[in-house]
Structure 1
Amino acid sequence: MIAFLTRRLSFGVLVLFTLSAFVFLLFYVAPGDPARMIAGEKATAQQLAQIRENLGLDRPILVQYASFLGDALRGDLGFSYRNQQPVVDLIVRRIPVTVSLVLGGVVVWLAIGIPIGIMSARFAGGLRDRLGQVFILIGLSFPTFVLGMLALYTLYFLPRKNGFVLFPPGGYAPLLDDPLKWAWHLTLPWLTLALVTAAIYARLTRGQLLSVLGEDYIRTARAKGLSERRVVYKHGMRATLTALVTQLGADIAVMLGGVIVIEQVYGLQGVGSMAVQAVRNQDRPIIIGVVLLGGLFIVISNILVDLLYAALDPRTR
């Protein structure tokens, strides 16, 4: 197990190293003058020279990359001249919003999607299965921004028009300041994120569970007189969890890199909205920082998924 984990960690380090090289080449070696993009068209030659010196653009490429990699390993992702702040400080300030949104959404969509998938698989072809299929089709058909705007209209605008406030329009309240206000502000974003993603998990759970329930060991368990609930939850779901864990690990990793649409709709100042602003402003240090952060989340997520595989499936161990 230790050897397996060591191999996965080594592979993760290699992935991050490759990603860092790709990002560096894309933003610092590709055509275009980073100093000019930072300073603007009206910058003087002295200003451009100073920015190039500060960024180390006047040094050889390999020296620049070695310096970039060393700074990244120390937690220094550069300086945003647009915001006049270190990139790490900007990310640290924004990451609680995105983490709160994603983790809360995970809880909601698992609580909705998995039970619907189990119900559809247990009563395949019946009325409950058809209702589950309707939920899946609706969830997969609705774009996230449409569902978000619909939620704002029905749960914020209409109640406010009638003289009372059911939910706030958006924004973020820190968890440590007021947990209830934190949850109140994130309820609509959580529901918007969860209803779309829950449909994916309901479909995945239904498909995996249907295939498992046709296995020989499931028929043997039923022949022994075990209750249907025990057969489904103890034997069927245990085999289904591996596929769900894989999907969940990938989804969480990607979303922690920024839930762009949800953050834009509800005015949440998270990593996704910061990335959008950085792209608009051509703020390369922020873009690089967000990309590396997303890569780090993906590597960590894959390692955790592998560990969960070992816990769920003895054959892996």
Structure 2
Amino acid sequence: MKKWVWHIFKKFIRMLLLLLFVSIGAFLLVSLSPVDPLQANVGQTALGALSQEQVIKLETYWGVNEPPLERYLAWVGDFLRGDMGVSLLYRQSVSSVIVQKLLNSLLLMIFAWTISGGLGFVLGIMSGMNRGRMIDKIIKGYALLTASTPAFWLALIFLLLFSVWLKLFPIGLSVPMGMDAAAVGISDRLWHAALPALTLSVTGISNIILHTREKMIDVMESEYVLFAVARGERKWEIFKNHGFRNVLLPAITLQFASVSEIFGGSILVEQVFSYPGLGQAAVTAGLGGDIPLLLGIAVISAAIVFAGNFIADILYGVIDPRMRKGVRQ
């Protein structure tokens, strides 16, 4: 048990170090970018109307002439205190903008993450237990097709088919057009998130299907399963007694690792559906030169992805106690 706790602690420290490297890399890339901090914050027209003394004061305020290391340490210090700066485009604190957009994105991603994980696990098991049969060929063909389908292209097709032609889903946004967001109920929010979530699920399900299928095939070809078949056990009994736990662990790995894929896909999907989530905010910040918001989103996004992998490590020991006893040093 002590080894397992130490293993989790090391994983946590590694996650913090990775976040530190992400923040350094993001800050370095922004510093090397051709974006002029004064022009991005004040605007080209307003900057031309300022006096030289005012320009110097702004340069001092934004730390234009300070070494990059000093600017980074000052930014990290403020970040750790909860001050991520002020968004230039939204005219709000970066933390409040991220919270607003993240809530919309989490609704979308949890919706898609649950559908793709559950359905992918079931379809992968069905395909692996019926290797070579028609159902296996159909499921495998679907997984291979969707794995090579770009998320933005599928989003455009779904938008055209289900929203424009069939009028089954809203065209976009996270709330009905013209309504105050505070007056919108959870049912309306789920309805607006349904089609974007379905798009993410269709593209994110393929890896889970294919990996679960391969693991299930390995289980079905193992000696203890062949012995169980010889004893007359049925497929459901074989899966319940021998296959479920062996397939569940790699499925959990893929499920939590797919957080990064779903988040990356949500950036393009949110753009297509005009869904006001964190992905759309990242694109807006990048195109608009909103450096404080862009840096905040980069660190928070990395934290979400790393947290998914960290939770998977913890769940390993919960599902299979043998993992707690056999952790390698």
TM-score, normalising length from structure 1?
0.89
Count residues in correspondence: 312
Q: Secondary structure at the match of 2:84?
A: coil
Change (3 A) 1:74 1:135: same
Residue 200 (str. 1) matches residue 207 (str. 2): yes
Deviations 1:205-235 (A, max 9, x none): 1112112222223234434543321212442
Partner of 2:255: 248
**Structure 2 counterpart of 1:41:** 44
| Aligned counterparts of 1:213 and 1:292: Cα–Cα separation in 2 | 43
Q: In the alignment, what sits opposite 2:178?
A: none
Aligned position for 1:106: 113
Deviation per CA, 1:167-198, whole angstroms, max 9, x where unpaired?
21121137994222122111111211111112
Change (3 A) 1:233 1:50: farther
What is the match of residue 120 of structure 1?
Answer: 127
- For 1:1-317, list aligned pairs within 5 A: 1-28=4-31, 33-42=36-45, 43=47, 44=50, 45-160=52-167, 166-173=168-175, 177-256=184-263, 259-317=266-324
Amino acid at match of 1:63: E
Q: Would you say the 8 A contact 2:171–2:273 is kept in 1?
A: yes
The 1:60/1:147 distance shift into structure 2, 3 A limit, reads: closer
**8 A contact 1:212–1:218 mirrored in 2:** yes
Residues 113-165 of structure 1 show CA distances to partners (whole Å, capped at 9, x for unaligned) of 222211111111111111112222332243222222222222222234xxxxx
**TM-score (structure 2 length as normaliser):** 0.86
> 1:70 deviation in Å?
1.1
Counterpart residue type for residue 6 of structure 1? F
SS of 2:64's equivalent?
Answer: coil
Label 1:97 to 1:237 Cα distance change in 2 as closer, same or farther (>3 A): same
Tell me, yes or no, if the aligned pair for 1:99 and 1:256 is still in contact at 8 Å. Answer: no
Cα drift, residue 314 of structure 1: 2.8
Secondary structure at the aligned position of 1:153 is classed as: helix
Spell out, residue by residue over 1:215-256, the C-alpha distance to the aligned partner (whole angstroms, 9 max, x if none).
223234434543321212442231122222222212214534
Contact in 1 for aligned 2:200/2:265 (Cα 8 Å): no
- Tell me the percent identity: 28
Q: Which 10-residue stretch deviates more, 127-136 or 60-69? A: 60-69
Conserved 8 A contact 2:146-2:202: yes
Change (3 A) 1:107 1:176: farther
Higher mean displacement: 288-297 or 172-181: 172-181
Call closer, same or farther: CA 1:149–1:27 in 2, change over 3 Å. closer
For 2:202 and 2:251, how far apart are their aligned partners in 1? 17
Higher relative contact order (CA 8 A, sep 6+): 2
CA RMSD of aligned residues (A): 2.4
Q: Secondary structure at the match of 1:66?
A: helix
The AA in structure 1 aligned to 2:174 is Y
Deviation of the 1:76 alpha carbon: 1.6
What's the CA shift for 1:273?
Answer: 0.6
Contact preservation (8 Å) 1:116, 1:202: yes
Name the amino acid aligned to 2:170.
P
Distance 1:95 1:181, change over 3 A: same
Q: Greater CA deviation, 258-267 or 30-39?
A: 30-39
Residue 276 (structure 1) shift:
0.7
| Residue 163 of structure 1: aligned partner | none
Q: Is 1:171–1:185's contact at 8 Å kept on the other side of the alignment?
A: yes
Structure 1 stretches of 4+ with a deviation exceeding 4 A read: 29-32, 174-177
Letter in 1 for 2:119: I
Structure 2 residues not aligned, in runs of 5+: 176-180, 325-329
